Amino acid sequence: AQSVTQLDSQVPVFEEAPVELRCNYSSSVSVYLFWYVQYPNQGLQLLLKYLSGSTLVKGINGFEAEFNKSQTSFHLRKPSVHISDTAEYFCAVSNNDYKLSFGAGTTVTVRA
């Protein structure tokens, strides 16, 4: 079984500052990793995914994440945030069991 830990429940950040959201996972088998974003009253939108290959993954809206197998981490970063990045962010892991296991989420609040 796999599990996901998002180390920060709330991250306040000023506009145009960088942000990093931390995600660690545990799994006994190879995994696939995802970051999703949820805006108020909406479903989840895929930001990026790691399936194989390069450990540095680039996604939409300027986000990127790095897969670190030895540290079992998949941290999400953005060099300069905008007010519109205010949302809840979820890290998720999957293996070959037809489901995603999600972390508890990190709420990012961007202030002017």
Partner 1 sequence: KAGVTQTPRYLIKTRGQQVTLSCSPISGHRSVSWYQQTPGQGLQFLFEYFSETQRNKGNFPGRFSGRQFSNSRSEMNVSTLELGDSALYLCASSLGGISGANVLTFGAGSRLTVL
CB of 43 to partner 1, least distance (A): 4
What number of CA atoms fall less than 13 Å from residue 21's CA on the CB side?
34
Q: Which residue, 46 or 83, has its beta carbon nearer to partner 1?
A: 46
CB of 25 to partner 1, least distance (A): 13
What number of CA atoms fall less than 13 Å from residue 103's CA on the CB side?
29
Query: Measured between alpha carbons, how far is 97 from 13 in angstroms, rounded to an integer?
Result: 36
Q: Which residue, 11 or 100, has its beta carbon nearer to partner 1?
A: 100
Q: Which residue, 14 or 39, has its beta carbon nearer to partner 1?
A: 39
Structure tokens at 55: 């450990």
**In the block, residue with structure tokens 């960088």:** 18
Q: Which residue, 3 or 68, has its beta carbon nearer to partner 1?
A: 3
The residues that touch partner 1, with contacts defined as CB under 8 A, are 30-32, 34, 36, 41-46, 49, 51, 90, 94-105
CB of 19 to partner 1, least distance (A): 21
How far from the centroid of its chain's Cα atoms is residue 17's Cα? Answer: 18
